[in-house]
A and B are shown apart, each in its own frame.
Chain A
Amino acid sequence: MLKFASEEERQVKKATRAALGVTLAELADEGLPIVAVDADLTGSTTMAKFAAANPDYTERLFNVGIAEQNMVDVAAGLSLTGNIAFTGSFAVFGTGRAYDQIRNTVCYSNLNVKITPTHAGVSVGPDGGSHQMLEDIALMRALPNMRVLVPADYAAARAALKLAAKTPGPVYVRMGRASVPCVYASDVELEIGKAYVLREGTDVTIVACGVEIREAMLAADLLAEKGISAEVIDAFSVKPLDEETILASARKTGHVVVAEEHSTVGGLGSAVAELLAREAPTPCAFVGVHDKFGKSAEFEELMSHFELDAPAIVKAVEKLTA
């Protein structure tokens, strides 16, 4: 049963990246053969916390230096000797710089490697466009054998990392740098291939993932004040997508807005559009970054500049349902 954050938990803001190191340690505590491979960002990704959790884990964290291609293939080799290997770095380097390694070694060989970088999307903020990865979901989703999970908050990130560890084969878990309010209860359990209806509605379906879940929930409140009833779905499992849940909602409401902190090319929006075009053609709108690179600013400013926030979702819904 899906468990939501209590009123108290909702006041707590935490970054999804903070889940990485502690969850790896917890999985290792359970006896799973976890290894972590990072590229000089063990503090930022929090992988250092895995190594620090137990003296036995120190040797299970491999810092390869600034060498993301080597990072992914060292993880591949570690997985071939019986380990569950997690990779780090920032999403821009951890997926983009090492794409061929992920494609030709991890996915083509179908290895037990989990691509789990942090600082995805605009959440890396002031570092600017070079570091704001907005194409990673598209890149990872296109790969055979890869599953793509985009958790909404800290608790969902912990659940996603546990699912990754316990699901044989390649999994991508997208985590961010920004501190975001909790949506789920701290011990929430999620399933790969399931989407979750967080709020029921009848006029429009908002399908979202990652930090856009918070925005979608706020947007649903704002829309309710305007007399529009929005259903909000967390499609945290971008691949495989929960087609049944999304189709049922689209057929009910007749309008679908997809929101993601990602390019509108190739991400969750594309996945939902492909599904609807095939099974239930439905008018759609896409909230995301429209074929642009990011820019330096604080996370919240960027959410507004790139029209990723709740008011932007409200605008998209009003235009679609007018």
Chain B
Amino acid sequence: MAELGRLANNIRCDIIRMLEAAGSGHPGGSLSCTDMLVALYAGGVMKHDPQNPSMDERDRFVLAKGHAAPALYATLAHMGYFPVEELKTLRKWGSKLQGHPDCNLVPGVEVSTGSLGQGLSISCGMAAGLKLAHNPATVFTILGDGECQEGQVWEAAMFAAHRGLDNLVAIVDRNHLQIDGDTADVCDPGDLAAKFSSFGWDAQEIDGHNIDGLVKALSAAKADRGGKPKVFIAQTVKGKGVSFMENQAGWHGKAPNAEQAACALTELSGVEGGEAHHA
């Protein structure tokens, strides 16, 4: 597990470097969902093959909160979907790494996202399609907590439960912040586990930075075909790993300058295996 922690730390460093080079982008929500991506892609939860990104039996992943693209790109690059070297082209003319994920450019990206509220519906369609095809693969998706203010999320939640999509596992990155401030102040999403549960989902709270715990819980959720879709409300810290970004709404969509990036990288390089985060 220390290895996964180191990977998460490397990905966080890449996120900082990419955003600094791009001069724009979303650090806060990228850093808050990094550990879940590591658990899914590197922790053995998802069946996937970087050499064969379209293999039929792969598990699917949809980044509903598409603005966390830097975290997904860095994860895919470290997994071998494309060279890590390309990360520095983020948001630049001619790059495959668009500001939000483009499935026609990036190997491993199943569908283009960026407009919030749509990912869960798309995941539902994929899960339904896999069932039609008797394909045992699982669909994973990461939503933002602010994203749950979109009404379509609840259209999808109703549909998934009605159809018994037990091959669907959602994770809500509950970092409690959105562009305009605390989610509780902007328009309170409230008790998301209770909400999903009342819609007919198996809902659990989880520590979104404990990679070991995430791997175990997500693997169990993947194996469970009890007739219900599953959701984890992952408690996270926006900007996780960079002290001056943590819990600051202002770092939702702002890139660090050279000095801030250097400071962030120094902090991240001092973290032993990433495990210190979990304490």
Give the interface of A toward B (CB within 8 A): 35, 37, 59-60, 62, 64-65, 67, 69-70, 72-83, 85, 100-101, 103-105, 108-111
Contact = CB atoms under 8 A, between A and B. Distances in A.
A108 B112 contact: yes
Chain B CB within 10 Å, residue with most, of A65, A100, A109: A109
A39 B155 CA distance: 11
Contact of A78 (B117, B118, B128, B162): B128
Nearest to B153: A70
B104 interface: yes
A80 B125 contact: yes
Contacts of A70: 121, 124, 152, 155-156, 159
A76 B132 contact: no
Contacts of A101: 115, 118, 121, 152
B266 interface: no
A83 B122 CA distance: 13
B122 A80 contact: yes
Contact of B115 (A35, A80, A82, A105): A105
24 contacts: A35-B132, A37-B125, A59-B132, A60-B132, A62-B128, A69-B118, A69-B155, A73-B124, A73-B152, A73-B156, A76-B121, A78-B128, A80-B60, A80-B111, A81-B125, A81-B126, A81-B135, A82-B133, A83-B132, A100-B118, A105-B112, A105-B113, A105-B115, A108-B102
B172 interface: no
B110 interface: yes
B155 A105 contact: no
Contacts of A75: 125
SS class, residues of chain B in contact with chain A = helix
Chain A CB within 10 Å, residue with most, of B122, B127, B155, B163: B122
Contact of B125 (A60, A67, A74): A74
Contact of B129 (A64, A81, A100, A109): A81
Contacts of A69: 117-118, 121, 151-152, 155
B11 to A, nearest CB: 25
Nearest to B125: A77
Contact of A77 (B114, B127, B152, B155): B127
A81 B124 CA distance: 11
A105 B60 CA distance: 16
Given A35-B132, A81-B133, A108-B112, 17 more contacts: A59-B132, A62-B128, A64-B155, A70-B155, A74-B121, A74-B159, A76-B121, A77-B125, A78-B129, A80-B122, A80-B126, A82-B133, A100-B115, A104-B114, A104-B115, A105-B113, A108-B102
B130 interface: yes
A42 to B, nearest CB: 15
Contacts of B118: 69, 73, 100-101, 104-105
A74 B124 contact: yes
Chain B CB within 10 Å, residue with most, of A73, A80, A85: A73
B103 interface: yes
For the complex of A and B, the 4 pairs showing the least CB-CB separation, nearest first, are: A77-B125, A81-B129, A73-B121, A70-B155
A294 B128 CA distance: 38
Contacts of A100: 115, 118
Nearest to A70: B155
B193 interface: no
A101 B132 CA distance: 23
A74 B163 CA distance: 12
B63 to A, nearest CB: 13
Given A67-B158, A109-B104, A110-B104, A77 B112 contact: no
Nearest to A73: B121
A167 to B, nearest CB: 17
